Structure 1
Amino acid sequence: MNTEAIWLFLTTQGVDFGLKVIGAIVAWGIGRWLIQLAQKLLGKALDRGKRMDATLSNYIVSIVGVLLNILLILSILDMFGIKTTSFAVLLAGAGLAIGTAWGGLLTHFAAGVFLQVLRPYGVGDYVTIGGVNGTVSELGLFGTTIITPDNTIVVVGNNKVLSDNIQNFSRLKFRRVDVTAKVANGVDVHQAIDLLKAAVAKVPNISPDQPPDVEILQFTPEGPLLAVRPYTHTDNYWQVYFDTHRAIVQTFGAAGYPTPETPIVRRSIVPPAVPQPQ
């Protein structure tokens, strides 16, 4: 290590370099604060207009944030004498390496643009994307943020979303809730169906436009298996699901229906053969 060169640098340019470092740190802190403030104000302005949904407004705010951060970095580099033209030449020289490293991010970014145009889902929709179920919290530049039913945040890459199946449970007015109920052999199944239809129709938040379906699904050794299918909005899915189970238990209990039991299969025991004397 050339200590003389280091000492010469510190004595001649050390103070100037130190001031530049301090200035860069201060500029970074102030710049980041201003960028966050600008994003916050822009988000409020877009929400105030009521003409743009949350998905697109969040996407625009994210793009503005990325552009402002790039400008901030270039400004800090300029403080150290690294001109933007030199920085562009450096990026061009390392284009192959950067393109390889950032290729995945660019595909996610392009997929995010297509998702904004196609709009298969929006913020607040309950979806299944990339094998993940949950409510869309944000459609970002490179990924979609999902809040799962167990309150976990999952970020799915936009390219994975676009290249896989997308299920949107919130786009239609209502969805079907699938529940089954088994009645014992000997019970009047038609009476059970009528009682269940009347009970399930009283469950809160079921769709008034689509009456619940109660039909025989299949026959089992214990008795007929009924398909109980009310319809509701996705926001009320689990409430209707559990209330329907509760209605089945209360209805069958009030009617005095026995619990279905598996029939006992009796097998005849064949005694072993007795050897005959010779």
Structure 2
Amino acid sequence: MEMDKPLPYVGVTPLQMATTVAILVIGWVVTKILVGTFKRGLKKTKLPELVVEFLSRFLSALLYVAVILLAVSALGIGVGSVVLSISAVIGLILGFGMQDTLTNLAAGVWITALRPFDKGDVVTVAGQTGKVNAVGIMSTELLTPDNTLITIPNKLVWGSVITNYTRMPTRRVSVDVGVAYGTDLDRAIKIAMDIMKGHPKVLNDPEPSVVITALADSSINLQLRAWTKTEDYWAVKGDLTRAIYETYMKEGIEIPFPQMDVHIKEMPR
């Protein structure tokens, strides 16, 4: 087989095909190396991991486009015509009103620039709750507690309210409990305070407190409020919930359940 003779129905020579494949393979390897080096270099700076991840993905996309253009050029096709064709396709997409790609890209830039969250933060955004896994060029990835990966377009992330549960170093733990009417409230509150002050992960500043939140139909509702480090939030909440129940039961303080008294009045015959 002559390497410089065009193949039938294809119009390119075996040499051009081999060169194109070599460019794609070498380009893929070089891109991986360059992006990896770039990423390691950024990690040595003070840039947040979220920004490092975004810039690495952006560089990767640019390099892959360059490799594809080189491969196309090796086939004997003018790069200028390819760029012109791509521009025409983009113009067609925009003409049909599908600007989501550019909107998501711009939103991704704003997210990484203003950083309403970092990688590893637990957030609620666009109605979804999870740990931030990555912010890409087009979308943001959240990982839920049950290990489900959720992908949200960046424009929805940037255009919605973002609740960040782990940005602050401390959080207040609130535990609601109801006691029966007639309960000695001073005693019930003191027991709750002792439980919170005795927990090793509850902070002394701000000081824990107990407040009466409602006089409900079947109970007087109390709320235990204790401050702890953000990473200890769920452990402290679970401990306090269990401790208040067990201690109240032991001390004879009734925790009533919702009930309704029905009085039947006999009608005269």
Q: Same fold (TM over 0.5)?
A: yes
- Residue in 1 aligned with 2:40? 44
What's the offset of the Cα at 1:74?
0.2
Q: Does residue 195 in structure 1 map to residue 191 in structure 2?
A: yes
**Residue 66 of structure 1: aligned partner:** 61
Deviations 1:196-220 (Å, cap 9, x if unpaired)? 1110223343334222221111123
In structure 1, give the amino acid aligned to 2:57.
S
- Following TM superposition, by how much is the alpha carbon of 1:170 offset from its aligned partner in structure 2, in angstroms? 2.3
C-alpha spacing 1:123/1:92, structure 2 compared with 1 (3 Å): closer
- For 1:178, the equivalent position in structure 2 comes to 174
Give CA deviations for 1:160-200 in whole Å, capped at 9, x if unaligned: 11111111222323222232111123321111111111102
CA distance in structure 2 between the partners assigned to 1:65 and 1:258 by the alignment = 63
Cα deviation 1:76-115 (Å, max 9, x = unaligned): 1011111211212223444421435762111011111122
* Alignment-derived partner of residue 125 in structure 2: 129
Q: Which consecutive residues of structure 2, in runs of 5 or more, have no partner in the other structure?
A: none
Query: Residues 23 and 206 of structure 1: is their aligned pair in 2 closer, same or farther, counting only changes over 3 Å?
Result: farther
Query: 1:14 matched to which residue of 2?
Result: 7
Structure 1 contact 177–229 (Cα < 8 Å) conserved: yes
Question: Equivalences for 1:28-107 in 2 at 5 Å?
Answer: 28-49=24-45, 51-100=46-95, 103-107=99-103
Q: CA deviation at 1:252?
A: 0.9
Q: Which amino acid aligns with 2:106?
A: A
Corresponding position of 1:246: 242
Shift of the 87–176 alpha-carbon distance from structure 1 to 2, 3 Å rule, reads same
Q: Which runs of 5+ in 1 are unaligned?
A: 1-10, 274-278
The alignment's C-alpha RMSD in Å is 2.5
Q: Does 1:233 align with 2:233?
A: no
What is the CA–CA distance in structure 2 between the aligned matches of 1:47 and 1:112, rounded to whole Å?
Answer: 20
Question: Residues 177 and 240 of structure 1 are in contact (CA less than 8 Å); yes or no, is this contact kept in structure 2?
Answer: yes
| Match for residue 138 of structure 1 among 134, 147, 153 | 134
Q: For residues 196 and 100 of structure 1, do their structure 2 counterparts lie closer, same or farther at Cα, with a shift above 3 Å needed?
A: farther
Secondary structure in 1 aligned to 2:44? helix
CA distance in 2, matches of 1:83, 1:204: 70
Q: CA deviation at 1:25?
A: 3.1
Corresponding pairs, count: 263
Q: Deviations over 1:44-102 (max 9, x none)?
A: 121123x2221211121111101100100001101111121121222344442143576
SS of the counterpart of 2:261? Answer: coil
Give the structure 2 partner of residue 152 of structure 1: 148
SS in 1 for 2:203: coil
State the alpha-carbon separation in 2 of the partners of residues 238 and 207 from structure 1: 15
**Counterpart position of 1:120:** 116
Change (3 A) 1:226 1:13: same
- What is the rounded CA distance, in whole Å, between the counterparts of 1:125 and 1:62 in structure 2? 20
Code of the aligned partner of 2:34: A
SS of the residue corresponding to residue 230 of structure 1 reads: strand
Greater Cα shift, 158-167 or 21-30: 21-30
Asked whether the 8 Å contact 1:128–1:134 carries over to 2, the reply is: yes
SS at match of 1:156: strand
Task: Give distance in 2, aligned partners of 1:12 and 1:30.
Answer: 25
Alignment partners' CA distance in 2, 1:174 and 1:183: 29
Q: Which moved more, 1:97-106 or 1:176-185?
A: 97-106
TM-score (norm 2): 0.87
Which whole-Å CA distance do the structure 2 matches of 1:19 and 1:235 have between them?
60
**TM-score, normalised via structure 1 length:** 0.84
Residues 138 and 255 of structure 1, relative CA distance in 2, 3 Å threshold: same
Q: Find 2:219's aligned residue among 223, 234, 238.
A: 223
Contact 2:51–2:113 (Cα < 8 Å) also in 1: no
Task: Give me the whole-angstrom Cα distance separating, in 2, the residues matched to 1:56 and 1:262.
Answer: 51
Residues 163 and 263 (structure 1), Cα distance of their counterparts in 2 relative to 1, 3 Å cut = closer
Aligned partners of 1:100, 1:169: CA distance in 2, in Å?
A: 41
| CA gap 1:95/1:43 in 2 versus in 1, 3 angstroms | closer
Which one has the bigger helix percentage? 1
Q: Bigger radius of gyration, 1 or 2?
A: 1
Is the CA contact (8 Å cut-off) linking 1:126 and 1:234 kept in structure 2? Answer: no
